[in-house]
Amino acid sequence: MQQDNPISHFLTGKSPHTVMLFHHFISEFEKIGDVRVEATKTMIGISNSHKRIAWVTQLGKNFIHVVLPFKQPYEDNLCFQKVGQVPGQQQFNHHLRVLNDDDINEEVLVFMGMAYSEEK
């Protein structure tokens, strides 16, 4: 995992459970391929060598909220709580709430792999 910008300010003051969930999510992405983790102004971006593949948009008291962007909606799933199109773009954000490490299950791993390998 390469880190361009420090993410520590996002993790400061978060519960040990939330920090564990964040690190677990990143380590599962690292099993798929090399990722870069970088802080933006309001969220944490996860990128592969050519594009942003996920965002951690919220680190809650006992969860992390993740968005995976795709070029099409994947409505038939059990893992995303919301799927929405970005206005004016051919991008569909898939929202995932991770409450436990086993929420990164087989279905989620398939979508993470798809996000990693999807072309720009």
For the chain, give every domain's residue range.
2-117
Q: Which two tokens stand for residue 62?
A: 């006992």
Report the number of secondary-structure helices (H) and strands (E) in the chain.
3, 7
17-48 pLDDT tens trace:
999 999 999 999 999 999 999 999 899 999 99
pLDDT band of 119, cuts 50, 70, 90: confident
Distance CA 110, CA 106 (A): 6
Out of 1.20.1740, 3.30.1360, 3.40.50, 3.30.1460, select the CATH number for domain 2-117.
Answer: 3.30.1460
pLDDT, residue 81, reads 96
pLDDT, residue 4, reads 45
Distance CA 68, CA 116 (A): 10
pLDDT, residue 45, reads 96
User: What pTM does this model have?
Assistant: 0.91
